[in-house]
Amino acid sequence: MDIREYNAAWLDAWSKKDTTRLLTFYSPDAVYKDNQTAAGITGHAALKAYLDGLFAATPPMRYDPDEVWAIDGGFCGRWICTIDLPDGSKRKLRGFDLVLLDGDQITLNEVYTHNLP
């Protein structure tokens, strides 16, 4: 598997807020963690519920891949997210994902972000 292509396709699904497509990247028992779910959520049903709520509550966001590094069992990826705010302004985040894989299925996804000036 080409992790750059995989990462780009996965981030595209995030940008499009395509929950159905996103779940195809995750194993049925995947663990997902971000700032809002630090204890983690497990499985497709919980991840779907979380993503549907998140996507309904957030403005348009575009995730652009920055760098990807292969690690044992997966990859780490850095990205830039551009958020289109309701007032017409934009906000940017830099994010970093730790992704562990079983074949082409994500078993663990930990997300870390910070605001960019």
Read off the pLDDT of residues 87-100 as tens digits, 9 standing for 90 and up: 999 999 999 999 99
Closest CA to 2 of 64, 75, 63: 75
Statement: the pTM of the whole predicted model exceeds 0.85: yes
Domain range enclosing 96: 3-116
Per-residue CA distances from 23 to 26, 50, 95, 106 (Å)? 5, 12, 20, 9
Query: Could you tell me the two tokens for 30?
Result: 């995947």
Return the number of other C-beta atoms located less than 10 Å from residue 103's C-beta: 7
How many structural domains does the chain have?
A: 1
- Count of alpha carbons within 13 angstroms of residue 55, beta-carbon side: 16
Q: What's the whole-number average pLDDT of the chain? A: 96
Alpha helices in the chain (DSSP H): 3-15, 19-23, 44-57
Query: Could you tell me the two tokens for 23?
Result: 């779940």
Query: Could you tell me the two tokens for 11?
Result: 């981030």
pLDDT tens per residue, range 1-22: 899 999 999 999 999 999 999 9
